[in-house]
Structure 1
Amino acid sequence: MDDRNGQLKSQGELPIDALLPELQQVLAERSSAVLVASPGAGKTTRVPLALLGAPWLAGKRILMLEPRRLAARSAARYMAASLGEQVGGTVGYRVRMDTKVGPSTVIEVITEGVLTRMLQADPALEGVGIVIFDEFHERHLHGDLGLALCLQSQSVLRDDLRLLVMSATLEAEPVAELLGGAPLLVSEGQAYPVETNYAAKPVSGRIEDAVARTALEAVQRHEGDALVFLQGAAEIHRVAGLLRASAALPAATEVIPLYGALSPEAQDRAVASASPGERKIVLATTIAESSVTVRGVRIVVDSGLSRVPRFSPRTGMARLETVPVSVASADQRRGRAGREAPGVCYRLWTEQEHRQLQPQSEPELLGADLAPLALELAIWGIADPFEELAWLTKPPAAAYAQAEELLRELGALDAQGKPTAHGKMMAELGMHPRLAHMVLEAKPLGQGEAACELAALLGDRDLLRQTRSIDMRLRVEALRGRGYSAAGEQPDPAAVKRLTAEAREWMRAAGITPQPRGQASAAMSADADATGLLLALAYPDRIAQRRGDIRFLLRSGRGAAVQELQPLSSAPYLATAELEDSGTDSRILLAAPITLAELERHYADQIIDEADVRWDRGAGAVRARRKLRLGALTLKETQLENADSELVMQALFTGIAELGLDMLPWTKQARQLQARIALMHTHNTSWPDVSEEALLSSLPDWLGPYVGGMRSRNDLSRLNMAQIMESLLSWQERSQLDEEVPTHMTVPSGSRIPVDYSDPAAPVLAVRLQELFGLQRTPRIAGGKLPITIHLLSPAHRPVQVTQDLANFWQNTYFEVKKDLKGRYPKHYWPDNPLEAAPTNRAKPRPQS
């Protein structure tokens, strides 16, 4: 062991110390290991120092990943102090916007995103001996990505690279298997007993009220400081207000927030010990669950909620969703009360609700926006992330495909999925791809500084939390020190300072020189006017067009709405930065106006000039319009002259298909012809199929030659449908049709009677009974295959009998019918033997000459 580690003994034994020799031996023999150590065991600060003198390290560095910047800085400071040094000596850290390393730094504590950038710059990680993944149970996206890339680097480029995964509440066996059957080491933590109290009944009303009430009761009943877990910064500020306003708050008790967006100084103040004679109540998000010890805490109040990102492939939008904590997270939170002495934990849920919690938190990879991941993998050279990399949890295929589509839209990937030069520059900035694209595209427009300010604003919580306005320009003005007098809200000076520093850091990364504020008043106003364009660059799929009082249509085709009437509700076009996916129409939370001229200028290569030729059902005609479209948005629409005749014909056929063949000018003759042809098709399928379904499905074939130049229902009225139906037949078929399926039949009286083919399966011959005297059998058509259905009529042409068996009628039914008809029509001729009687179309037969 390095002699510097001897100093650790003087600082007190920790449970992990007993395991360090075994860990050193394992890593001397193996390239990977998994270490599970309970909270308080000391793994974060003891393990890296214990590996300093390992022979296999051979002068290389140790990288230790922490999921949060606060944890990275705290761990580095603690280890440096253990060695009697300042940060930047043997121990340093790298986090976004803050780096303290020096020439002699061996242990670098870094955040997960920093590892991704280091791997992209040097896939072999030359000069690194081991990568330690601390608190891996939190399963952040960049942690999973970093492990997958390190495993491939270890497999292909660096078989001597060591990997160590450490966690407090991890199901370790799958991780050990992923690392090639790595040894699994377990250390029990040093934890004092913590009394756990559950709520008697589920919380009703606002959770903030219940949390504040419970926290006040707890600090009155117990000694020590309190750590209160809430789901987000907004809830923290509401609870802070309730506590500070309460007369029950003990004297000399300070209420301190702790969440990721705070400045490093504010975070450090929250985790430091309270001043002598004072107490503190720290209101924290999941940032305080692990890695960080908040000094002096004896009381934990847990709301039981956390806020996690959820990406919806259906909408293409990410949102933060409040969910119950897992059992593992709840145990982590409770353990905060027992780090330094016995403590107490108040859980704002019942024991019954506790039994229904998920055992582990869901990996961020399953619910996050995967655009950053997809870009990193493309640059790494991965064509198929599901097969080429070893994952503990594979990315969801639908979300990954949508991420790739967005990257193509931003110009980061080409059609084959390869990274473009623009995409590589985006990744180097370290921003979300949307924001990186915005900054790079804004730079040549002279709007680089404004874009970096917007990137800082969009990456943080709303600077103006109280205003109901969705106008992003107000936030830009507030960041620039102009306040927000319209609603009487002034932004938090600390937040303005932090965001300004972050914007300057983005400018430095992008090579943008900020303008001196005293000389930039006009430029700043112009920048504010460009806010909509800049947002459109970052969120091209969320450009919105007004379609009602508060309703908009997004370029992607989704609906969106402003919650209430406000100035931007009447804007013709908006670039929306933040949407809340809620039902049919998403709720617009942040946006800025953009002009049609800006869209036409900056999206000219994406605007489609198309002919929209369609059937207008209301007008009963084809309407031809020229449309300029940007996605689902119609930017301009004008009358289209000389529309393509083929498109017009297709639209006309669409109208006929919608309304049916009845909209054509059918005559009785045409319908009869259609029915006769249908009858022949029934008995011989080589004949044309003229059923409604067949004709509708083949309109271009049989109707196309006759509708040239026609555009409306009125034009169609000129068609001769009988002629069109006849054109479907050859000359031989026409002759055969007239012979086998005649339009008329001559009956014994000499009359020529039309045949009704309305039902091709049962053609009807309606004839007065007296005209059939002497006809012994039913006539048949279609080559003798089909008997005619005879409707026998009275002298007044009223039906008296229907039959397809005339012989049977004469033999069995005629005499009953005769009695009735003879009574009603006594002057007419009703012979006793109809088969020998003379047929007649008069009352009585003419006398024989």
Structure 2
Amino acid sequence: MSPDTLPVEDVLPALKAALAAGLNAVLVAPPGAGKTTRVPLALLDAPWRGDGCIILLEPRRLAARAAAARMAATLGEEVGRTVGYRVRMDRRVSAATRIEVVTEGVFTRMIVDDPALSGVSAVIFDEFHERSLDGDLGLAFALDAQAGLREDLRILVMSATIDGARVARLLGKAEIIESRGRMFPVETRHSGRDAGRRIDDETAAVIRRALGEESGSLLVFLPGQAEIRRTAERLADTIPAGVEVAPLYGALDFAAQDRAIRSPPPGRRKVVLATSIAETSLTIEGVRVVIDSGLARVPLYEPATGLTRLETRRVSRAAADQRRGRAGRTEPGVCYRMWDEGQTAALAPFDRPEILDADLSPFVLDLLAWGVDDPARLAFLDAPPRAAFDEAMALLSRLGAIDGDRRLTAEGRALAGLAMPPRLGHMLRTAATMELGGVAGALAALLAEPGLGGNGVDLRDRLGHLRSARDQRSRDALALGVRFARMVGADPALDGAAIEQAGLLIAFAFPERIAMARGAPGAFVMANGRGGVLDPADALARQDFLAVASLQGAAENARILSAAPLTLAEIEAEFGSAILEEETVAFDETTGSVRARRSRRLGRLVLGESAAGRPSETAVVAALLAAIRRRGIGALAFEGAAGALRARLAFLRRKAGEDWPDVSDEALQATLDDWLAPHLLGRRRLDAIDATLLHEALAALIPWDRKAMLDRMAPTHFEAPSGSRLPIDYSDPSRPVLEVRVQELFGLDRHPSIADSVPLTLHLLSPARRPIQITGDLPSFWRGSWRDVRADLRGRYPKHPWPEDPLAAPPTARAKPRGT
């Protein structure tokens, strides 16, 4: 094979034959095979194409533009003639274009707008293993169109790491063609990771090591833009002369991205600091060293809160192999993995399909625009999760986009035509009625493009910077905002005063993310009940209210990435119908009493609160019971007679069975409404539930026919031979205890018992009430150890009688009379 020949060319005849004989095919080709740029060109002369266009889908704009440029160069043409591209905010196509490279989201809009795909002969899904939501949806729509409208449409799915058989079944038992790759040997070195160091410090150290050990340029994978920026700062003035550091991530303008993937000048080296944007479909010339942090930042949607947050995760083994492969595209290379070798086996085999973790509201809106309300009617490799699907339907209902039969309303059709997430579409349409369409259009463009207008949290500042920026990416974003505004018939002017309304517009899109300050500066709670934090030094940290657009980290206390201030007056004016005024009766933990409050709530936010009138007895009792349930049954004062009665009842239930009430902690906690509630009328404080009340409540549990048996079977006291009435301790229901001075039992020849046959455990005491012996058999004690006990007691208590025969002696609680 010559250097200019790519491995995929060996299977092009088989691929062309498969698409001539059938409609669908699957091409499995490893990195470096050349599938992205060779396959579309090879299909240009296929007879079935006629004069139709070939659409090539790429997961990212950078990859789409690079693929179009490479194919155009192969043909010796400019991009926009035979080969063109169409991505958000940029397109280069003409009437002569026959291969159009598009991003997956653009294709979804194309096919929803024209289900028959007029003028299209083939659709190629490249890098399908990435399993983006738009990729899965686009393939489902294409297969549905093929089955009902376009029986001549060819569909080709291409990937490096995918279960080809599974995809082939989805495509109707399509033929699978496999190609060899062309990857030079790559040596893998595991550098490990010090968990105590920041990832950027650790990465910078590995970069310096690699620059010293290896030749060529470096491609470094980091999880996000912030880590790229900090790593670049760590490298400044610490790397050799002649080494250029180039960032590469999606938020960069196209010119900066192109500079990053361009070969360095002769004699110079490049360190490309990239996100996962560089994993696939790109060959960066001169790179023979890859450094992999092993991390990626992925969006994670939580249906319960409606939040999509960014989470840093370990990459999958498939992604790690893709990254490693970047080092061997043009020559033998080296990959430094920043983890221990044994940890590789613990990585997930593949990335999770986005359909399992994403906000499905745009997906469901597109489904409904397609005429489908049940995803089971289309062909998906993985079905969307029911919880996320139902939440998306609920959101569309709240936006007025669907009716009770889950059909699109006029509002829904309008939102579907805006080619943006339904939340932002709703914001844009609402803003148009308030003469805020220009700022809403710019805001929609800004939120769709991370990094525009800077990285500050305050969206007003970012809109201001965007308005005055002169770089091409900012100008393209402003043009997109103008287009958005005009789509809803609004004045596209971006007025400086209107920018101050950014918080209100964000609230229209994300009402559950209206946030209110709580506690220390920078701490907020949102209407959905989740927390958000800002740096206390941030200018927004002391605002009373914010509207939050994006967050990162744990949803319980996520870091707010973008927001704008909001006032209470704006909330009341625009969200008044969602504010509930209610009277609550609740237990106040501070005062220990039940209080009635009148509150105004927006979701979980308490916008205002005041004292209410006297609550009903029923509400007070319910609040007291709720407090007891939270604190546990131990919050009740089972003391004195109440505690004693409870212990006696526990003993009788153990001894005599279930005819006696269950007074265990678990049973009392579970039946508070039955045994305690009737006795709480007139009480408003927890400490008013005293031992007397509890004794009455427990006594009421005893069945009528058992009340007379209580004192007989479980007496409170034992009458000793001396005449003393001594209390019986039932704390241990299996062993009732009687504490008694030993001389009070003189003359007693049988062991004391209760409940007909249960012996009391005797704790025998000295005259000073110090323990001398524990026994469950008093006669044996008299016959046995009494002799030794007597000798000891005579020495310590000589004024008391200690007879040799205790059974013949009279019981006494006193000392010997004087003179005896």
1:686 Cα deviation (Å)?
Answer: 0.9
Cα deviation digits, residues 182-241 of structure 1 (max 9, x gap): 22335568x7x97978889789947569769988999xx98xxx7966657678889999
Q: How big is each residue's C-alpha offset from its partner over 1:32-73, in whole Å with a ceiling of 9 and x where there is no partner?
A: 112356777765556445545655456655333233445545
Does residue 525 of structure 2 align to residue 534 of structure 1?
Answer: no
Contact 2:292/2:323 (8 A) holds in 1:
no
Q: Aligned partners of 1:796 and 1:207: how far apart in 2?
A: 77
After superposition, give the CA deviation of every residue in 1:240-280 in whole Å (9 maximum; x if it has no partner): 99999999877xx99987765555677678889999x9999
Provide Cα deviations, 1:312-366, integer angstroms capped at 9, x if missing partner.
356843327587763334435642xx4xxxx686756699979959898736627
1:708 aligns with 2:702: no
Question: What is the distance in 1 between the residues matched to 2:475 and 2:296?
Answer: 27
Q: Which residue is 1:622 aligned to?
A: 594
In structure 2, do the counterparts of structure 1 residues 113 and 785 end up closer, same or farther at CA, with 3 Å as the change threshold?
Answer: same
Indicate conservation of the 8 Å contact 2:251/2:451, yes or no: no
Task: Give the whole-Å Cα distance in 1 for the aligned partners of 2:186 and 2:745.
Answer: 104
Distance in structure 2 (CA, Å) of the matches to 1:351 and 1:664: 55
**Further displaced range: 571-580 or 717-726:** 717-726
Superposition TM-score, scaled by structure 2 size? 0.78
Residue 710 of structure 1: how far off its partner (Å)? 0.7
Match of 2:322 among 321, 328, 336: 328
Q: Trace 1:137-176 onto structure 2 (pairs within 5 A).
A: 137-155=129-147, 158-167=150-159, 172-176=164-168
Deviation at 1:625, TM superposition (A): 2.8
CA distance in 2, matches of 1:200, 1:756: 72
- Does the residue aligned with 2:417 lie in a helix, a strand or coil? helix
Q: 1:728 aligns with which of 687, 701, 707?
A: 701
| Structure 2 CA distance for aligned equivalents of residues 786 and 715 of structure 1 | 37
Q: Which whole-Å deviations, capped at 9, do the CAs of 1:713-745 have from their partners, x for residues lacking one? A: 453349455444443345543333344444566
Could you say which residue in structure 2 is the equivalent of 1:310? 298
CA shift at 1:460, angstroms?
Answer: 2.3
1:459 aligns with 2:448: yes
In structure 2, the CA distance between the partners of 1:704 and 1:31, relative to structure 1 (3 Å rule), is same
Residues 672-687 of structure 1 correspond to what in structure 2 (within 5 A)?
A: 672-681=644-653, 682-687=655-660
- The answer to whether the 8 Å contact 1:229/1:302 transfers is yes
User: How much has 1:453 moved relative to structure 2?
Assistant: 0.9
Q: Do the aligned partners of residues 236 and 687 (structure 1) sit closer, same or farther apart at CA in structure 2, a change above 3 Å counting?
A: closer
Q: Distance in 1 between matches of 2:666 and 2:232?
A: 71
- Does structure 2 retain, via aligned residues, the 8 Å contact 1:657–1:696? yes
Structure 1: distance between partners of 2:501 and 2:236:
41
Q: Distance in 2 between matches of 1:585 and 1:307?
A: 22
What per-residue deviation string (whole Å, max 9, x for no partner) do you get for residues 667-692 of structure 1? 74454444444443332421233445
CA offsets per residue over residues 55-112 of structure 1, 9 Å max, x none?
5456655333233445545666777798899877776554334456667765544321
- CA 1:300–1:509: 2 relative to 1, 3 Å: farther
Letter in 2 for 1:432: P
3-state SS of 1:705 partner = helix
Report the equivalent of 1:647. 619
Cα 1:736–1:435 shift into 2, 3 Å: same
1:501 equivalent in structure 2: 479
Counterparts of 2:295 and 2:487 in 1: how far apart (Å)? 30
Take 1:107 and 1:625, find their aligned partners in 2: how far apart are those partners? 67
Indicate conservation of the 8 Å contact 2:720/2:726, yes or no: no
**1:539-565 deviation per Cα after TM superposition (whole angstroms, max 9, x unaligned):** 334333222133223334333322341
Per-residue deviation, residues 465-493 of structure 1 (Å, max 9, x unmatched): 4x7x5322111111222xxxxxxxxx563
1:753 to 714, 725, 733: 725
- Kept in 2: contact 1:198–1:351 (CA 8 A): no
Kindly indicate whether the alpha-carbon contact (under 8 Å) linking 2:112 and 2:369 is maintained by their aligned counterparts in 1: yes
1:132/1:166 contact within 8 Å kept: yes
- 1:470, 1:588 within 8 Å by CA — same for their partners in 2? yes
| Alignment CA distance shift 1:320-1:375 (3 Å) | farther
Instruction: Tell me what 1:599 maps to.
Output: 571
| TM-score, with structure 1 as normaliser | 0.75
Q: In the TM superposition, what is the alpha-carbon distance from 1:456 to its structure 2 partner? A: 1.8
Q: Quick check: 208-217 or 501-510, which moved more?
A: 208-217
Structure 2 portions without partners, runs of 5+? 194-199
Change (3 A) 1:771 1:381: same
Q: Verify the 8 A CA contact 2:254 2:473 in the aligned structure 1.
A: no
1:369/1:403 contact within 8 Å kept: no
**Which residue number corresponds to residue 554 of structure 1?**
526
For 2:459, the equivalent position in structure 1 comes to 472
Q: Is the 8 A contact 2:132 2:355 kept in 1?
A: no
1:115 aligns with 2:107: yes
Paired residues of 1:543 and 1:575 also in contact (CA < 8 A) = yes
**Partners in 1 of 2:258 and 2:796 — Cα distance?**
114
Task: Identify if the C-alpha distance between structure 1 residues 664 and 171 changes in structure 2 by more than 3 Å, giving closer, same or farther.
Answer: closer
CA separation in 2, counterparts of 1:711 and 1:568?
42
Mapped contact 2:301–2:358 kept (Cα < 8 A): no
The residue type equivalent to 2:325 in the other structure is D
Asked if structure 2 preserves the Cα contact closer than 8 Å seen for 1:261 and 1:460, the reply is yes
Q: Name the Cα RMSD after superposition.
A: 5.3
- Code of the residue aligned with 1:598 in structure 2: it is E
Contact 2:104–2:134 under 8 Å retained in 1: yes
Q: How many residues align?
A: 795
Structure 1: any 5+ residue segments left out of the alignment?
1-11, 482-490
Q: 1:319 aligns with which of 310, 322, 328?
A: 310
Structure 2 residue matching 1:590: 3-state secondary structure: strand
Distance in 2, Cα, partners of 1:237 & 1:514: 34
Going from structure 1 to structure 2, the CA distance change for 1:88 and 1:509 (only over 3 Å counts) comes to: farther
Distance 1:718 1:669, change over 3 A: closer
For residue 711 of structure 1, report the CA deviation from its aligned partner.
0.7
Q: Secondary structure at the match of 1:567?
A: coil
- Rounded to whole Å, the distance in 1 between the matches of 2:398 and 2:774 is 72
Q: Residues 346 and 80 (structure 1 numbering): CA distance in 2 closer, same or farther, change over 3 Å?
A: closer
Q: For 1:818 and 1:195, how far apart are their aligned partners in 2?
A: 95
Matches of 2:342 and 2:684, distance apart in 1: 69
Pair 1:66 & 2:58 matched: yes
Partner of 2:196: none
Alpha-carbon distance, 1:709 to partner: 1.9
Contact between 2:297 and 2:310, CA under 8 Å: does it hold in 1? yes
Q: 2-side partners of 1:304 and 1:119: how far apart?
A: 37
Which residue is equivalent to 1:544?
A: 515
Secondary structure in structure 2 of the residue aligned to 1:571: coil
Residue range with higher mean Cα deviation, 144-153 or 300-309 = 300-309
- CA deviation digits over 1:161-183, x for unaligned, max 9? 32112346666454334433322
Q: Deviations over 1:413-461 (max 9, x none)?
A: 7799776654554343222344333323323233222121112222223
Structure 2 Cα separation of the partners of residues 101 and 87 of structure 1: 8
Residue 729 of structure 2 contacts residue 738 of structure 2 at CA under 8 Å; is this kept in 1?
no
What is the identity, as a one-letter code, of the residue corresponding to 2:432? K
Distance 1:242 1:802 in 2: 76
Residue in structure 2 matched with residue 572 of structure 1 by the alignment? 544
3-state SS of paired residue (2:451): coil
Identity fraction in percent: 41
Which amino acid in structure 1 is aligned with residue 675 of structure 2? W
Deviates more, 1:146-155 or 1:265-274: 265-274
1:16, 1:676 → 2: CA distance?
87
Is this contact kept in 1: 2:201–2:231, CA < 8 A? no
1:794-821 deviations in whole A, cap 9, x for unaligned?
8888887766555556666777777888
